[in-house]
Amino acid sequence: MKKLFAVLLIVVLSAFALTGCGGGDKPEPQAEGTTADQTYSFRLATHYNTAHPGYAALERIVADLEERSNGAIKITLYPSSQLGDYTLTYEDLMRGSVDLALIPIPSQYDSRLEMNFIPYLVTDYADMETAFGPDSYFFKEYSKIHGELGVKLLGIYVEGLIGFGFTDLPANYADANVWKGDMVRCPAIEVYNLVTEDMGYSATTIPYADLYSALQTGIVDGWIGGTPQLNYTDFKDVIKYYVAYNVFAENIGFFMSQQVFDSLPAEYQAMIEDAFMKEAIHSYAVAEELDQEAIKGMEEYGIEILYLTDEEMQAYVDVVKEKTWPKLSDNIGEDVMNKLVEAMK
C-alpha cells in the first residue's frame, strides 16, 4: 500500500513539474491593435424585413466586412424587430447587449436627437451627402449626441423624400403664403404638426393604423409622413394626388454600441466605419431610384403627381425656415440650430 501511494505521489509531482515548465508553449500576447487568430461575432438588429432594400444593404455590409477581415468579423442579422422594437434596441446599444443596429432614431433619451426631423434640411437627393455625409456639421454634431448616450453613429440611411398625399386636389397647393385649410394627418411628432400648419394646412394626429380609413371616409383630406414608396404601396387605392413637397428626408441610423466599438482593434474600427458609411451614402442614390419608381407607379395607377417650380419650392423653404425652425430650438438647442443653419447656407 505504501509503495502504491509513493508511486501515485511521484506521478502527481511530475505532472505539476511539467505544467510549471510548460510556460514556453503559451502563445505570446498580441501587441495592441493586432488581430491575429481572433474573431469577433456581432448581433445586428433591424426593424426591416428581409425583402426591404435596407436589409439588402445590411447583407452587403456583412459580406464586405467578412471578406476584408479575412473572416474575423462575423455579423448575424436579426430582421423584423426580432430583438425588440427600435426603442428597446437603442437601449440595448447603450448597454452593450446588442452590438449593431439599423433602426429609427428614438428621441426620448435626448430631445436633441430630433435634429434628424428638421424640415427642409434637404430638398433634393443631390443635397443628401452634403447634409448627412461624414464631413457634414449634422453628422459630426449628431455623432456627439449619440456618443454621450453610449452609442456610436456609423451613418445616416435615407429611405426617401416625404411629400403629402391627398384624396382631393388641394387648392393653392403651390402657394406657400396662402392658408389652404385642408385637414392633414400628421404622425405624433411635434415638428410634423408645426410644419404642416406653417405650410398652410390644418394638422391633426391620427394613429397610422387608422389613417387609411380616415382618408377613405373623409375625416382627413391628406397626410404627411410617407415617401412616394409608402404612398404607393399602402395608399394608392385611396389617394388621388401626391404633392412632392419634399419636406423631410425619411432617415434612420446605422449604429454600434460605443463600448463594443471601443473594444475593437483600430484596424477593425476603421473597416466597420468605412463599410457602414459606404452603404449610408449609397442609400441616397437608392432612395432617389425607389422614389422615382414609386412615382411612376402612382402615375400609372391614375394618381396625379403635383410638382412645384424652383421658385415655389424656395418660397416654402423660406417660410418653413422663418416660421418653423425657430420653434425647434427648445428641443434641439438654439446654438445647434444656429450652427446648422449656417452650415446649410
Instruction: Cell numbers for 152, please give them.
Output: 456610436
Between CA 123 and CA 78 the distance in angstroms is 33
266-304 pLDDT, tens digit each: 999 999 999 999 999 999 999 999 999 999 999 999 999
* Residue bearing the bigger pLDDT, 146 or 338: 146
> How far is residue 249's CA from residue 128's CA, in Å, rounded to a whole number?
8
Residue 2: the pLDDT is: 41
Percentage of the residues of the chain whose pLDDT score is greater than 90: 83
Residues for the chain: how many in total? 345
β-strand pairing of 183-186 with 222-226: parallel
Give me the half-sphere count of Cα atoms (radius 13 Å) on the Cβ side of residue 155: 26
Q: Where are the domains positioned within the chain?
A: 41-343
Q: Which residues is 343 bridged to in the sheet?
A: none
Compute the average pLDDT of residues 138-166: 98
Is 151 a residue whose pLDDT tops 50?
yes
Contact indicator for 133, 140 with CB cutoff of 8 Å = no
Q: What is the per-residue pLDDT for 343? A: 79
Q: Distance between CA 90 and CA 42 in Å, rounded?
A: 15
206 vs 186: CA distance, rounded Å: 7
* Cell reading at 333: 438647442
Tell me if residue 88 falls in helix, strand or coil: helix
pLDDT at 342: 80
How many H helices and E strands in the chain?
A: 13, 9
Confidence of residue 11 (pLDDT cuts 50, 70, 90): very low
Q: How confident is the model at residue 334 (pLDDT cuts 50, 70, 90)?
A: confident
Q: Is the pLDDT of residue 25 over 70?
A: no
DSSP states of 47-108 as a string?
S--TTSHHHHHHHHHHHHHHHHTTT-EEEEEE-TTTT--HHHHHHHHHHTSS-EEEE----T
Cell of 197: 400648419
pLDDT at 24 over 60: no
Q: What is the number of other CB atoms lying within 10 angstroms of the CB of residue 99?
A: 21
Task: Give the span between the Cα atoms of 315 and 139, in whole angstroms.
Answer: 27
Regarding predicted confidence, which is higher, 324 or 336?
324
Instruction: State pLDDT tens for residues 107-142.
Output: 999 999 999 999 999 999 999 999 999 999 999 999
Separation of CA 148 from chain center: 18
- φ, ψ of residue 122 to 5 degrees: the values are -135, 155
Architecture of domain 41-343: 3-Layer(aba) Sandwich (3.40)
**Using CB atoms within 10 A of its CB, is residue 278 exposed (0-12), middle (13-18) or buried (19+)?**
middle
pLDDT, one tens digit per residue, over 298-331 is: 999 999 999 999 999 999 999 999 999 999 988 8
Task: Kindly state the cell numbers that stand for 138.
Answer: 449634422
Q: What is the mean pLDDT of the chain?
A: 90
pLDDT-based confidence at 36, cuts 50/70/90?
Answer: low
pTM for this model (two decimals):
0.86
Distance CA 181, CA 160 (A): 27
pLDDT of residue 18: 37
